[in-house]
Structure 1
Amino acid sequence: MNRFTVLRCGFVKRLGPRMGVQGLATLLDSHPRIYRDTKFRKMRLVIDGCNLLYLMYFKSGLDQNHGGEYAAFEDLIERFVKALRDCGIMPYVVLDGGSDHTDKKLETVTLRAESRIKKAHQAAVDGSNEHILPQLAKIVFRQTLARLEVPVAQCFAEADQQIAALANEWQCPVLSNDSDFYIFNLSSGLLPISHFKWEEVESGSQSYIPCKTYHANSFCIALEIEPQLLPTFAALAGNDYVKLKRMESPIDWAQFDPSEKPSHLKGLLCWLKGFNEPQEALEAAMRLMRGVSMERKAEVLQSLSLGKDEYQVPPSSLTKFFIHGMPPLFPAVEKVPGLVPDWMRLPLTQARLTGDVLDVLQLQRMSLSLPVAHRDMPSSNLTSRPLRQVMYGLLLGGGKPIQVEERDRDGLQLKLIPVEPAFRGVAQRLVLSSLDKVELSERLQVLLEALQVTESSLRNLPPQLRLPVAVTCFWLQRAEPPPDERLLKALLLGLSIGDSLRHRAALQDGNQPKLNLNVAHAFNQWQACLKDSIHLNQLLGFPLPEPQVARLYAGTLVHNIVHRMRTGGRLRALLKSDHSSVKQYHAMLSVVHQFHTQRAPSPPETLKKVVAPRHLRQPLEDLTPILQQLFLQDEEEEKEVSSIVRAQEDLCFDELLLVKTRYRTKERNNRCNKPELSRKEECRGLDII
Structure 2
Amino acid sequence: MGVQGLSTLLDNSPQIYREVRFMRSRLVIDGCNLLYQLYFKSGLDQNHGGEYAAFEDLVEKFVTALRDCMITPYVVLDGGTDPTDKKLDTSTQRAEDRIKRGHKAAVGSSEENLIPVLTELVFKQTLARLEVPVAQCYGEADLEIAALASKWQCPVLSNDSDFYIFGLPAGLLPINHFEWEAVEQSGSRRYIPCKSYNTSSFCIFFNIQHQLLPTFAALAGNDYVNLRRMGKSIRWAQFTPAGCAAPNRLQGLLHWLNDFEQPREALKAALGMMGELSEKQKVEVLQRLRLGMEEYKIPPSSLERFFIHGVAPEFPAEEEVVGHVPDWMRLPLTQGRLNGDILDVLVLHRISLSTLVDHGDMPSACLTSRPLRQVIYGLLLGRLKHHVVAERDRDGLQLSFIPVQPIVKGLIQRLARSSPHEAEPSERLQVLLEALGVTEDSLSRLPPGLQLPVAVTCYWLREAQPPPDKMLLKALLLGLSNGDTLRHGTALKIQQKHFKVKLDMDVVHAFNQWQVCLKDSVHLNQLLGCPLPEPQIARLYEGTLVHRLVHMMRTGGKLKFRVKSDLSSLKLYQTTLSIIHQFHAQETSTSTETGPQRQPLDDLTANLQQLFFQCDDEETVTEVKSAARAQEDLHLDQMLSVRTRYRIKERNNRCNNPEICRKEERRGWDIL
Give me the whole-angstrom Cα distance separating, in 2, the residues matched to 1:399 and 1:357.
Answer: 15
Task: Note if 1:489 corresponds to 2:469.
Answer: no
2-structure distance, mates of 1:533, 1:376? 26
Residue of structure 1 aligned with 2:56, choices 74, 80, 83: 74
Contact 2:471 2:604 in 1 (8 A): no
Report the Cα distance in structure 2 between the residues aligned to 1:126 and 1:245, rounded to whole angstroms.
31
Is the CA contact (8 Å cut-off) linking 1:253 and 1:265 kept in structure 2? yes
- Counting only pairs closer than 5 Å after superposition, residues 15-414 of structure 1 correspond to structure 2 as 19-203=1-185, 205-259=188-242, 261-335=246-320, 337-398=322-383, 400-414=385-399
Matching residue within 512, 515, 519 for 1:527: 515
In the alignment, the residues of structure 2 paired with residue 659 and residue 382 of structure 1 have an alpha-carbon distance, to the nearest angstrom, of: 43
Question: Deviation digits for residues 500-549 of structure 1, max 9, x if unmatched?
Answer: 43258533631312111111110000000000000011111111110000
Specify the SS of the correspondent of 1:572: strand
CA 1:308–1:432 in structure 2 vs 1: closer, same or farther (change >3 Å)?
A: farther
Question: 1:502 aligned to 2:488?
Answer: yes
Give the secondary-structure state (helix, strand or coil) at the position aligned to 1:506: strand
Cα distance change of structure 1 residues 54 and 588 upon mapping to structure 2, 3 Å threshold: same
- Secondary structure at the aligned position of 1:599 is classed as helix
Amino acid at match of 1:306: L
Moved more, 64-73 or 555-564: 555-564
Contact 1:124 1:374 (C-alpha < 8 Å) held by counterparts: yes
Verify the 8 A CA contact 1:341 1:432 in the aligned structure 2.
no
Alpha-carbon separation, structure 1, partners of 2:578 and 2:597: 14
SS at match of 2:376: helix
- Counterpart of 1:189, as a letter, is G
Q: Do the aligned partners of 2:492 and 2:559 also contact (CA within 8 Å) in 1?
A: no
- The one of 528, 538, 563 aligned to 2:526: 538
- Residue equivalent to 1:455: 440
Please give the alpha-carbon distance, in whole angstroms, between the structure 2 residues aligned to 1:338 and 1:549. Answer: 34
Partner of 1:558: 546
**What is the distance in 2 between the residues matched to 1:667 and 1:126?**
52
Q: Aligned residue for 1:7?
A: none
Find the aligned partners of 1:140 and 1:281 in 2 and give their Cα distance.
46
* Number of the residue aligned with 2:651: 665
**1:624 aligned partner:** none
Residues 500 and 169 of structure 1, relative CA distance in 2, 3 Å threshold:
farther
Paired position in structure 1 for 2:619: none
Deviation string 1:190-214 (CA, Å, 9 cap, x unpaired) is 0000000000001461100000000
In structure 2, the residue matched to 1:476 is 461
CA RMSD of superposed structures (Å):
2.8
Give the residue type in structure 2 aligned to 1:565. M
**Separation of aligned partners in 2, 1:267 and 1:459:** 67
Amino acid paired to 1:536: L
CA contact (8 A) 1:373 1:521 kept: yes
> Paired residue for 1:516?
504
CA contact (8 A) 1:72 1:501 kept: no
Distance apart, 1:407 and its partner CA: 0.7
Q: CA deviation at 1:649?
A: 7.8
C-alpha contact (below 8 Å) 1:494/1:558 kept by paired residues: yes
The answer to whether the 8 A contact 1:404-1:418 is kept is: yes
With over 3 angstroms needed to count, the CA separation of the structure-2 counterparts of 1:638 and 1:343, relative to structure 1, is closer
Alignment TM-score, normalising by the size of structure 2: 0.90
* Structure 1 position 632, deviation (Å): 3.7
Q: Which residue of 2 aligns with 1:4?
A: none
Q: Secondary structure at the match of 1:63?
A: coil
Q: Distance in 1 between matches of 2:628 and 2:427?
A: 32
Aligned to 1:579: 567
Question: Is this contact kept in 2: 1:506–1:573, CA < 8 A?
Answer: yes
Post-superposition offset of 1:499: 3.4
Cα separation, partners in 2 of 1:580 and 1:631, compared to 1, 3 Å: farther
Q: What letter corresponds to residue 243 of structure 1 in structure 2?
A: N
Partner of 1:11: none
SS of the equivalent of 1:509 reads: coil
Deviation at 1:287, TM superposition (A): 1.3
Which of 644, 647, 651 is the matching residue for 2:631? 651
| CA distance in 1 between partners of 2:314 and 2:269 (Å) | 40
The correspondence of residues 584-603 of structure 1 with structure 2, limited to 5 A, is 584-601=572-589
Q: Where do 5+ consecutive residues of structure 2 fail to align? A: 612-626
Tell me, in whole angstroms, the C-alpha distance in 1 between the residues paired with 2:590 and 2:406: 34
- The superposition leaves residues 460-510 of structure 1 with CA deviations (integer Å, 9 ceiling, x where unpaired) of 111111000000000000000111111111111111122343258533631
Cα distance in 2, alignment partners of residues 178 and 632 from structure 1: 49
Query: Is residue 2:431 matched to residue 1:443?
Result: no
Distance in 2, Cα, partners of 1:292 & 1:500: 65
1:425/1:670 CA distance change after superposition, 3 Å: farther
CA change 1:673–1:631 in 2 (3 A) is farther
Q: Output the CA distance in 1 between the equivalents of 2:148 and 2:373.
A: 34
Worse-superposed segment, 491-500 or 347-356:
491-500
CA apart distance, 1:56: 0.4
Q: Distance in 1 between matches of 2:281 and 2:650?
A: 82
- 3-state SS, counterpart of residue 315 of structure 1: coil
Provide, for residues 374-412 of structure 1, a one-character-per-residue CA deviation record: whole Å limited to 9, x for no partner: 111111000000000000011111561111110111111
CA distance in 1, matches of 2:566, 2:114: 35
Is the partner of 1:417 in helix, strand or coil? strand
Unaligned segments of structure 1, at least 5 residues: 1-18, 604-628
What code does the residue aligned with 1:207 have? R
- How far did residue 641 of structure 1 move? 7.1
- The Cα offsets for residues 73-109 of structure 1, whole Å up to 9 and x where unpaired, read as 0000000000000000000000000000000001111
Deviations 1:420-478 (A, max 9, x none): 10113321211365322111111111111111111111011111110000000000000
Q: Determine if contact 1:341/1:433 at 8 Å carries over to the other structure.
A: no
Residue in 2 that maps onto 1:5: none
Output the amino acid matched with 1:234.
Answer: A
